Structure 1
Amino acid sequence: MNQNLINVRVWGDYACYTRPEMKVERVSYPMMTPSAARGILEAIFWKPQMLYLIDSIKVIKRGEWTSFRRNEVTKRISLSQAKSAMAGTGEVSTIKAGGGAADATQRNMLALQSVEYIITAEIALSEIGKHSNQVLQKYKEEIERRVRTGKCFHRPSLGVREFSADFDWVENPNDFMPETPWSENLGLMLYDVFSYKERSVGFRFLDGEDYADGQVPLFATEMPKNKKAKPISDGVLVKPSASFFRAKVEENILDCHPNRVEIIHRKGGEN
């Protein structure tokens, strides 16, 4: 048995794991995706020296389909606008939703009501963690402490930020029986929007302790022209790239470990 596995039970009143093929109105997958499970765990605890590999997701409560309308926005702040505002050469206008605002629109959502899952994940060291001789056990113990005491970096959610998730530590997933038996081939499902192989390298911004002179380097725009900029980060900054897999639920369990499922890249490559 893999000693680096953890089990976290999550539940909530509503959930929506949006299908990417739906362009306008949100329609949920029938259960949690691996990327949503990873997001929950990283909301509770994450460090650049480690990463989560989702092993499986056990469905305790599938939930009931429910539909309602919600306020969304029709535009977003662009990166160029944000940069010009930071440089003091432009302004960013506030985007408002609801109450008849010009940027607002009402859209329908097909979501799940009253869901519960058990996330089983493998904890692994990233390349940054391996190079700094980190001990995996200390991260596992820290995760357990935070889950048991209800601590998190930010409130985990079930697909979208409005649907917050409660969580608890589980020693044995077999202690929780599914509400109804379920086995089904779900077809293609979103696996993640970030490559797990690239995530395994790790990424972090460097601080003063990482330099011999103890000085945090200036950004390239602030560096004198006669000096070469020092690196401000370590590892690989992973860019979004959607990947999918053939999801199959057997006896209420979705197997999704990257070493056991075929991951299909959106552009034809493989993770």
Structure 2
Amino acid sequence: MIRLEVWGAYACFSRPELKVERVSYDVMTPSAARGLVEAIYYHPGLRWIIDKIYVLSPIRFTNIRRNEVKSKVVSSAAKGVMQGNGKPLYLAASQDIQQRAAMVLQDVHYVIEAHFEMTDKASPSDNPGKFQDIIRRRMEKGQCFHQPYFGCREFPAHFRSWEGATVPAIGETRDLGLMLYDMDYADPANITPIFFRAKLEQGVLSLDHCEVFR
């Protein structure tokens, strides 16, 4: 088991039901927490499972406006260029730009409690002790494969290992409703979102034995 302290100025864990303007969940989602841990250490021989998310700072929202592109390069366009159709394969930001509002979290601070399970892709030389030593060393040295972020890449996350015996979570309890748990990639042609009934208990979002919905 590891405990990872993460903090940053802004975060946006977008609700999938609100597509036009981005609105963040009140608390970091389990999939965002998993992605953050994987940014520090990922290996095909292990699978990260998030156990708890501790909220250390009061939940605060703020509104911002950002410039975004409204289009994306689709696979059919890339395939056409590979076949020599001569069309350009790029997006001109000055022509495709649009301004969108977003309701994001401000001054976020969490402790992620997680553990990993070995997968069938682990090599004979891999073992839990080896992986545990690697992840702890990387957390202590601040090493990562890419910059961790809170939902959007423009919201970077700072991190370090949490060494305290207890975690001083905020003493707040609230029903968070249905929250995105993760995505099911078992069938690449039919990727399915997984949701769960989330509740913050004394500042802790516990994921032990939570009931999920597809």
Calculate the TM-score normalised by the size of structure 1: 0.74
Partners of 2:137 and 2:192 in 1: how far apart? 33
Match 2:192 to one of 220, 223, 241: 241
- Which runs of 5 or more residues in structure 1 are unaligned? 199-235, 266-271
Whether 2:172 is the aligned partner of 1:182: answer yes
CA apart distance, 1:173: 5.6
CA contact 2:183–2:194 (8 Å) conserved in 1: yes
- The match for 1:228 is none
- The match for 1:143 is 135
CA apart distance, 1:81: 1.5
CA apart distance, 1:87: 4.7
Task: State the Cα deviation string for residues 15-44 of structure 1 (Å, max 9, x = none).
Answer: 010000001110000010000001101111
Between structure 1 and structure 2, the one with the greater Rg is 1
Residue identity matched to 1:154: H
- The match for 1:262 is 211
Match 2:77 to one of 65, 75, 81: 81
Match 2:159 to one of 167, 183, 186: 167
CA contact 1:147–1:168 (8 Å) conserved in 2: yes
CA contact 1:118–1:173 (8 Å) conserved in 2: no
Q: 1:96 to 1:140 in 2, by over 3 A?
A: farther
- The match for 2:99 is 106
Whether 2:181 is the aligned partner of 1:191: answer yes
* Equivalent residue pairs, number: 214
CA contact 1:59–1:253 (8 Å) conserved in 2: yes
Q: Share of identical aligned residues, percent?
A: 40
Q: 1:106 to 1:91 in 2, by over 3 A?
A: same
Whether 2:109 is the aligned partner of 1:116: answer yes
Greater fraction strand: 2
- The match for 1:67 is 63
Q: 1:86 to 1:249 in 2, by over 3 A?
A: same
CA contact 2:29–2:180 (8 Å) conserved in 1: yes
Q: 1:11 to 1:141 in 2, by over 3 A?
A: same
CA apart distance, 1:103: 0.7
Partners of 1:136 and 1:237 in 2: how far apart? 29
How do 1:15-94 and structure 2 match up within 5 A? 15-94=11-90
Q: 1:85 to 1:172 in 2, by over 3 A?
A: farther
Residue identity matched to 1:190: L
Partners of 2:2 and 2:88 in 1: how far apart? 43
Partners of 1:186 and 1:18 in 2: how far apart? 14
Residue identity matched to 1:181: G
Partners of 1:96 and 1:55 in 2: how far apart? 43
Residue identity matched to 2:91: I
Partners of 2:20 and 2:87 in 1: how far apart? 29
Query: Per the alignment, in what secondary structure is the counterpart of residue 146 of structure 1?
Result: helix
Partners of 1:51 and 1:92 in 2: how far apart? 40
Calculate the TM-score normalised by the size of structure 2: 0.92
Task: State the Cα deviation string for residues 238-264 of structure 1 (Å, max 9, x = none).
Answer: 96321100001111110124xx01111
RMSD (CA atoms): 2.0
